[in-house]
Structure 1
Amino acid sequence: MLKKYLLLLLLLPLAVFSQNKKLKGNTIRSNALNDTLQRAGRQTATVATDSVATLDMYKIISLERDTTYVDTALIIQKEYAANYLRKDNFGLLAFPNEGQTYNILDYGLVEHNPFPEFGFRAKHFAYLEAKEVPYFEVATPFTDLFYKSVLEQGQIMDALFSVNTSRNLNLFIGYKAIRSIGKYVNSISSNGVFRIGLSYNTTDKRYFLKLHFTGQDFSNQENGGITDISLFEESEEPYSQRERLPVYLTNAKSKLLGNRYFFDHTFRLSKSNPNSIVLHHQFNYENKFFEFEQPTPSLRFGEFYESSINNKTRYNRMYNLLGAAYNHEKLGLLEFYVEDYNYNYYYHTVILGQDNTIAIPNSLSDRIDTYGAKYTYKKGKWNGTALLSNSITNQSLANIDIKALYTFNDSTSVSGRFNRINKLPNNNFVLYQSDYKNYNWYNDGLKNEKINRFEFEFKTKWLNASASYQVMNDYLYFKDSIVAPERPTDIEQLFVTPQQDGNTINYFSVKANKEFRFGKFGLDNTVLYQNVQQSGNVLNVPSFLTRNTVYYTDRWFKKALLIQTGVTFQYFTKYYANGYSPVLGEFYSQDETKIGGFPLMDFFINLKIQEFRLFFKAEHFNSSFTGYNYYSAPNYPYRDFTVRFGVIWDFFS
């Protein structure tokens, strides 16, 4: 009786969904058997006795044509993904307000692109890249709705609708938005990600097309962190009310906007022979700008040119790939291609030196052409790719990426990867302009970064484990230079500039995961160890991270309600965490302040009725009794205890 009274108030609004109604024509629903099979990691189609469509008719297809299925099972991995990013964020440390940036704890999450990119990487965690846009094939119209409350006044909403107008044509449209005021002064987040697209193929499978448009904007008020961490760590009245804590910036704001037009299509020359030559073309045009504005300049960043700060960096790029591939039933797919990468990165001003010559130009632009080959083999238990590309034009650019996967059975596999990149510097390392005098540079002598990466992964029914080893030369990063105040009443000044480390950096990590089940109870463990060998504090990561979740799963009320509840414990060791520069939208290396060594504990309840899921979460509930020494970055406290709730609802008609 106790558990019924405990949830009675929560279930009243949902009671209508627990009725055992007959499903209409082409709808789908999950059941206990399906939940169990998907928990085991199998994409198994389970058909309700009164339904027509099956789970394998609701496909999610990547740009590389890897296929998964819509999954409505209530498993612990879904709990980890119920966040703003909509994915497991182990290895990322969130900032005080939702919709802000993340500090990277697991360096293995960092991917490298040989082409020069826009930069401002701290603003791109939620930015939807072209390869991350999913395509669909659905038997009936499919809708996915996600809602979650935020830290203070606002909400997160993510809605997706997809429909097949015919077997050959699928259309989709989606929008993700957040509005959150936050607990601290000047920390509002207001972001939006719109995407619309289609996938199409002819009936004879000769022509395939994937197309999408994205419009994305990320607007954040920037407070620069709190000025006196002792007030936070003591947390006595009135500073237990976080809006009372003084911050460095009270009227600063950053904004990242981007629009992308993308399509990828292939055409097979032969009408009847599936092993004939296939022509491939990919087009990607994207324009972005990053802006930092501050009506009243702050001495935090030193002297300034103008009475108000308005730094605006503009960027556009056009990418084309042309290729021809030959697919042999036994030998695999071999594609030869050429790439054309054309970009412009610019400002509307130039900066003159003392002799009235141009000291800092207003633009970068270049055209980079490469040639390459890609081999793909998928047969039986083997799955592998090998990619090789090199520049045709004068720039020194190269990429070798070899992957192999061998699957023993449904629960056991082994994979490996070797990646060697000769990477051109990102644009904001080379050129940046600001109304703050110390934030202007032009570095035309930077060397390419050289990265060699080895990865291995083992998946078994006893343990999942992976290892990564990276060797980096000419590593590019941002470095702080703090100027101590002359008087106690003066503000501490922060200057951040690009640097290149001429020494070799060796990075090694081992990660292990295992979920144990004991009847209705479960224990999920993830552990990461990292080690960096370097000459200075350039690449900083914690040595040890862990996440442990103990939970209980059961069906109540004549099995109409599936409940999952438990506690998650997270911890990482102390280290010199990267600081955050709001002027640059980048993280920077520092060796004066350590963070870490504090536990993060969350209590959660997930309730599921058919395809409707309601969840509640008490985040960081231990904050008041384990000490106020938790930070996301120097001067940026981590989140206090907060209770949040949300809804995930899938419709299949």
Structure 2
Amino acid sequence: MRQFSILFFLLVCTGTALKAQFNTGRLPGRGMGGGGNTSMQRDTTKHDHEPDTLTLRYRFLDEPTDFTIDSTIADFSLNYLGFPSTYMTLGNNGNAARNLVFTPRMLPGFDPGFHAYDVYAFNHQNAKFYNTNRPFSELWYLIGAKQEQMINVQHTQNRGEKFNFSFQYRKVNSPGFFQNQATNHDTYNVTANYNSQDKRYHLYLSYYLNKINGGENGGVMDPADLSDPDNKDRRLVPVRLGGNNPGLGGLLNTNIPTKSYNQDASILVRQQYDWGHGDTVHVNDTTQYYKFDPVFRVEHTLTYTENTYRFQDAAPDSLYYRTFYNLTVPLNNPDTLRTRHRWRVFSNDISLMQFPMRGNQAHFIRVGAAFEIIKGQFQGSELREESFTNLRLHGEYRNKTRNQRWDLQAKGELYPIGENAGDFSAYGRLSRYLNETLGNVSLMVNNVNREPSYVYRYFGTRYGEEWSNNSLSKENITQVQLRADNKKGKYNLSANYFLYTNYTYFKSFTESAQNSGLFNLLQLVAYKRIDVRSFTFDGDVAFQQLAGTAPLQLPTVWARLRVAYTAKLFKNLNLYTGLEGKYNTPYYADEYSPVLGQFFYQNVQQISNMPDVAAFVHFRIKSLSAYVRGENLNSLVWDNNFVSPCTRRTTLVSGWACAGGS
């Protein structure tokens, strides 16, 4: 449930250039559960810098393109929160979240299956490897209603021309408007890259640590309580989990008795050695530099990852767990209810690369193999353990021409033996920049055959209850995408067509299932901006049409519209102020299972909300940027919006469960 709140966001950037900079968000990757690449993201802003100003560029792993950071102040969700506005949370920033625009996980290989908190986490795919001519730092601070606070600290600098390191820390602490809804996240990311003097040896290091604590209240007891005049303070509304706990908490008071608490830690070390041609280039009589063009490369990557996914309820309600989980909790002095999945994955990858065109490192052929060792431990009446291995073969051809007009990419992965034997992916994309008027167009085809995530196969608790499903077949997903990006026309448009076989899902609080039939989905995602003198109108829209019988519920239309006054005042003040509205058509929204940390299918209660409305004043003065926002103004006029249903349950014992309606 969404409540009215006021947010104040402050960004201070330090550096020689003293220029305001923003994070442009994340690329889809393994940690994000992405692959569909349907998020509404803008092109990064590019700048031409003078020699005495800050020059800052970065790259992602396996991507030869340089990126520059975005200095716009329009999109608060993407620029600061780090994920598109199509995501919805369970009523509070930092709670479990899911995307209202269909983005299936299109990655083969082993997956634990816990992705409800991925949007807040770092991973190796969104790690940035910087190169800057001057030290650069950012300090981001947000204060919101009910003592909500967010802190983001980032620093990067080069040590000479050969070595760069970066560090980022992000804190999310939000007590929320309802009981037992508090969140407290601490996430860390460290990257470093080194090039030898002769430019033959390269070293990349990426490390992240995500400590996620998300309060789980199971939703309000009865939606009628929301209309009670005695419950104007929403902390008086009874909730399903966590007991009566109307306290607020704070930045230093982070005790959350009923919560999902996950911890992900991983380190990646990649080494490369090149053979090729080196030349000394003379700029003038006194200036020269060494230029090296690789022809052949050997690449070695070691990755160690440890993930722990847990749930605890310090004072479990035996009636609730008996009703919805068929789980017997002792009535007298019940002990803390706990669940735990712990996974450790070690990967050793060797790749060979060839560069056919001298001077173009975005034109290459790569082949390689990786051996994976995977071990798991699970909570149960007895400690259960799993151990298995995988062999992964992979190859890629990439040709991004030096004139930047053509970009061809073809890559594939195959698991010939191991736990995930038979998993594969085949990906192809052709992109062409036409001209300034017509922009860039691309065609992408992706097919993935994958083993369903492990959480669909097994789950257990410390009380000895176990749920398992050993009858699951491999999922097969095909995506065809046509995309157009036009900077001059100020629009982005993508059309996606999905074919899905053996869709795997949760059908209740504890039961997984699989739809053996074939269904298809048509999806249109668009962004357009119109400038009329000093006013800006920009809108995002997504249209989704499902064909075939499938246990999948999505809003047919999701849309966001912003109307803003933009101006440059007093030489250095950049102002962006106006109204923002978001709306989606009625649909049968998924419910949420706190114990499993999973959204699950329901077709009993339809969610129909009024538009979410926010008023904002965003401005930038040199290196200072500030956001002042009044969120969810609609709750001052209409009833509160729900993000997940309150469904009448009659399993074993009748009762209300507003899963996520908090």
Settle same-fold status: TM greater than 0.5.
yes
SS in 1 for 2:417: coil
- Quick one: distance in 2 between partners of 1:374 and 1:204? 27
| Maintained 8 Å contact 1:521/1:551 | yes
The answer for the alignment partner of 1:148 in structure 2 is 142
Matched, 1:267 2:273: yes
- Quick one: distance in 1 between partners of 2:86 and 2:56? 30
The answer for the alignment partner of 2:416 in structure 1 is 392
The answer for the alignment partner of 2:568 in structure 1 is 555
| Maintained 8 Å contact 1:219/1:253 | yes
> Identity over aligned residues, as a percent?
21
SS in 2 for 1:259: strand
The answer for the alignment partner of 1:196 in structure 2 is 190
Q: How far did 1:636 drift?
A: 5.6
Q: Unmatched 5+ residue regions in structure 2?
A: 1-7, 22-41, 243-256, 279-291, 647-657
Q: Deviations over 1:189-247 (max 9, x none)?
A: 11110122211112333222210211110012211000101222x2x422121001110
Q: Specify the code of the residue in structure 2 equivalent to 1:162.
A: T
Inter-CA distance 274–633: structure 2 relative to 1 (3 Å threshold): farther
Q: How far did 1:257 drift?
A: 0.6
The answer for the alignment partner of 2:260 in structure 1 is 254
Instruction: Give 1:228-627 correspondences, 5 Å limit.
Output: 228-232=222-226, 234=227, 236-250=228-242, 251-270=257-276, 272=278, 274-298=293-317, 299-302=319-322, 303-304=327-328, 307-308=334-335, 309-329=337-357, 332-347=363-378, 349=380, 362-379=384-401, 380=403, 381-394=405-418, 395-410=421-436, 412-435=439-462, 440-460=466-486, 461-462=488-489, 463-480=491-508, 495-536=509-550, 538-556=551-569, 558-627=570-639
Q: How far did 1:95 drift?
A: 2.2
Which of 133, 137, 158 is 2:131 aligned to? 137
Q: Deviations over 1:367-397 (max 9, x none)?
A: 1102221101011311121112212215111
Q: Deviations over 1:422-449 (max 9, x none)?
A: 1112111112111467x62233332111
- TM-score with structure 2 length normalisation? 0.82
SS in 2 for 1:402: strand
Q: How far did 1:262 drift?
A: 0.9
Inter-CA distance 40–444: structure 2 relative to 1 (3 Å threshold): closer
Matched, 1:205 2:195: no
- Quick one: distance in 1 between partners of 2:393 and 2:190? 31
Determine which structure has greater relative contact order: mean sequence separation of CA pairs < 8 Å that are 6+ residues apart, divided by chain length.
2
Inter-CA distance 347–584: structure 2 relative to 1 (3 Å threshold): same
Inter-CA distance 80–127: structure 2 relative to 1 (3 Å threshold): closer
Inter-CA distance 174–40: structure 2 relative to 1 (3 Å threshold): closer
- Quick one: distance in 2 between partners of 1:243 and 1:40? 41
The answer for the alignment partner of 1:100 in structure 2 is 95
Inter-CA distance 117–150: structure 2 relative to 1 (3 Å threshold): farther
| Maintained 8 Å contact 2:44/2:68 | no
- Quick one: distance in 2 between partners of 1:544 and 1:564? 27
- Quick one: distance in 2 between partners of 1:67 and 1:343? 34
Q: Count the aligned residue pairs.
A: 575
Q: Deviations over 1:16-51 (max 9, x none)?
A: x9xxxxx99x435479xxxxxxx996513144xxx7
SS in 2 for 1:69: coil
Q: Deviations over 1:75-100 (max 9, x none)?
A: x23x34254x324x232112222111
- Quick one: distance in 1 between partners of 2:548 and 2:600? 17
Q: Deviations over 1:266-314 (max 9, x none)?
A: 2113464735221112221110111111133322222326632111211
The answer for the alignment partner of 2:53 in structure 1 is 53
- Quick one: distance in 2 between partners of 1:112 and 1:539? 17
| Maintained 8 Å contact 2:95/2:215 | no
- Quick one: distance in 1 between partners of 2:458 and 2:277? 51
Q: Specify the code of the residue in structure 2 equivalent to 1:531.
A: Q
Inter-CA distance 399–631: structure 2 relative to 1 (3 Å threshold): closer
SS in 1 for 2:542: strand
- Quick one: distance in 1 between partners of 2:340 and 2:309? 6
The answer for the alignment partner of 1:86 in structure 2 is 82
- Quick one: distance in 1 between partners of 2:580 and 2:611? 10
- Quick one: distance in 2 between partners of 1:125 and 1:29? 27
- Quick one: distance in 2 between partners of 1:149 and 1:638? 24
Q: Specify the code of the residue in structure 2 equivalent to 1:388.
A: G
Inter-CA distance 427–173: structure 2 relative to 1 (3 Å threshold): same
The answer for the alignment partner of 1:6 in structure 2 is none
| Maintained 8 Å contact 2:88/2:97 | yes
Moved more, 380-389 or 563-572: 380-389
Q: How far did 1:505 drift?
A: 2.1
| Maintained 8 Å contact 2:349/2:368 | yes
- Quick one: distance in 1 between partners of 2:342 and 2:531? 52
**RMSD of the alignment, in Å?**
2.6
The answer for the alignment partner of 2:650 in structure 1 is none
| Maintained 8 Å contact 1:192/1:216 | yes
Q: Specify the code of the residue in structure 2 equivalent to 1:473.
A: T
The answer for the alignment partner of 1:491 in structure 2 is none
Matched, 1:179 2:202: no
The answer for the alignment partner of 1:488 in structure 2 is none
SS in 2 for 1:243: helix
SS in 1 for 2:634: coil
| Maintained 8 Å contact 1:141/1:164 | yes
| Maintained 8 Å contact 1:220/1:253 | yes
Inter-CA distance 544–471: structure 2 relative to 1 (3 Å threshold): same
| Maintained 8 Å contact 2:122/2:189 | no
SS in 2 for 1:300: helix
- Quick one: distance in 1 between partners of 2:427 and 2:381? 40
| Maintained 8 Å contact 1:93/1:632 | no
- Quick one: distance in 2 between partners of 1:415 and 1:633? 39
The answer for the alignment partner of 2:287 in structure 1 is none
Q: Unmatched 5+ residue regions in structure 1?
A: 1-9, 18-22, 32-38, 352-360, 481-494, 640-653
- Quick one: distance in 1 between partners of 2:546 and 2:631? 31
| Maintained 8 Å contact 1:580/1:633 | no
- Quick one: distance in 2 between partners of 1:334 and 1:258? 32
Q: How far did 1:409 drift?
A: 3.0
- Quick one: distance in 2 between partners of 1:120 and 1:276? 41
| Maintained 8 Å contact 1:123/1:586 | no
| Maintained 8 Å contact 2:96/2:214 | no
- TM-score with structure 1 length normalisation? 0.83
The answer for the alignment partner of 2:17 in structure 1 is 27
- Quick one: distance in 2 between partners of 1:80 and 1:30? 17
| Maintained 8 Å contact 2:593/2:659 | no
SS in 1 for 2:456: helix
The answer for the alignment partner of 1:71 in structure 2 is 70
